[in-house]
Amino acid sequence: MTAEDYLEGQVILIDKPLTWSSFQAVNKLKYILKRKYDLPKKFKIGHAGTLDPLATGLLIICTGKFTKKITEIQAQAKEYTGTITVGATTPSYDLETEVDATFPTEQITEALILETTKQFLGEIDQKPPVFSAIKKDGKRLYEHARAGEEVEIAFRKTTIYEFEITRIALPEIDFRVTCSKGTYIRSLAYDFGKALQSGGYLSALRRTKIGDYSVNDGVSPEGFEKSLE
């Protein structure tokens, strides 16, 4: 690859490490590429869809003229694998915040779990987590949440194409989901726990696909740096 290739446009598939923000990953690649190729200050680079720091997996990074493709890539269906822990909830619907309530799990059977997944297939109404980056009154929801402010969040339509349970070892339930753009897997975990007459939060998440792009073809930020040596 040459500097010209990255300016003309490349799609880079990164397997985002745990605890890294998507912004961090983009900045790391920007630094690597600028150092290697002496690219202009205004070199364009961006990602096609945020992944939370507590999630791993596919982060698509576009460079140069290919940054124009970001909206098109973001609109594609996504696949995730992960773990829902039942019997408790957290304010953020994941491990970012501490457990705030616990619930019984004696009623949860394999049959109930498999039956409950059917409620979430197709178009569903979903409320985004209060700890999310959506803007309300000029501030991001998580800023309202961290300030202890109550915010009314509207339901949004989203589509779940597939919802497969891959392991049951209560309180953990592993799953694979394919869904439309704008789906919050944290909200799915919370709503799924509620539908089981219990509670639930997302305890692990990995994005495996966006459209035809797969994490199997991705590299870590360090792997990308090595590939340029």
Q: What are phi and psi of 105, to 5 degrees?
A: -130, 0
The token pair that represents 196 in the structure block:
């089981």
CA distances for 76 relative to 50, 136, 213, angstroms: 14, 25, 10
- Token pair listed for 185: 């897997």
Instruction: State the catalytic residue, choosing from 5, 15, 38, 52.
Output: 52
β-strands 78-86, 200-210: how paired? Answer: antiparallel
Residue 192, SS3?
Answer: helix
Q: List Cα–Cα distances, 129 to 16, 30, 80, 143, in angstroms.
A: 22, 30, 18, 12
Q: C-alpha 29: how far from its chain's center?
A: 20
Q: Is 15 a catalytic residue?
A: no
Q: What CA–CA distance (Å, rounded) separates 77 from 60?
A: 13
C-alpha–C-alpha distance, residues 169 and 138, integer Å:
42
- The helix (H) or strand (E) run that includes residue 126 is strand 122-126
Residues that are catalytic: 52
